[in-house]
Amino acid sequence: MDVQALKKSVNSKEDQTTIKYHPETEAVNNEKEQSATNVIPDIKEKSLLVEENGIVGKTYTVNYVSAEYEITLKELAFAQSEYYTDEKFLMANFEIKNIGDKNEYISPNIYLVSQDSERYDDTIAIGLDDKYSKTLDWFKQLSPNTKMSGWVPIKVPLELDSGDLYFEYTNYYDSDRGYIKYSITN
């Protein structure tokens, strides 16, 4: 049930009911109210950021599960393995900071979609310059006001030099997806 339908439902009930909203579980519980009026709670509508024109170096604030994060794509580069000359990687250096007030896990989905609509997911890269050795942790719990950063390697064809890089995140309590899309050209 969406928030607007929930509010209408509360207003149309003849019995005295309080709707309690629990952001941690997104659960809604009905409880009988002893007062003479219905109580409409302060329900936060979670909006997932959809940014089509992401800018390298710009910080975006996203709502993820029950926390808020600042996401910054700090740097992009193409790199080749010194061991495997037929491998090329798009390297994306992200910084993620928990700006909320509680510990929370984050696990984004980062991938590239080429101009011909082929999808390339993050991977493990071997034989790259030491500059790229610190990779982004995947399912990590961040405390309030802490951050993590690192490189995300995406293996791409040697001839690929453009596409759209996605930083996608999902609110686990529903199927909505938010993302930041960065256009890549070499």
Sketch the domain layout of the chain as residue ranges.
Answer: 1-44, 50-185
Q: Is the pTM higher than 0.75?
A: no
Task: Write down the pLDDT at residue 44.
Answer: 38
Range 50-185 classified under CATH 1.10.540.10? no
pLDDT, tens digit, for every residue of 76-86? 999 998 888 88
3-state secondary structure of 21: strand
Give all strands (DSSP E) within the chain, no chain letters: 17-22, 27-32, 50-51, 59-64, 67-80, 88-98, 104-106, 109-114, 119-121, 140-142, 147-156, 162-170, 177-185
pLDDT, tens digit, for every residue of 133-166? 999 887 788 999 999 999 999 999 999 999 999 9
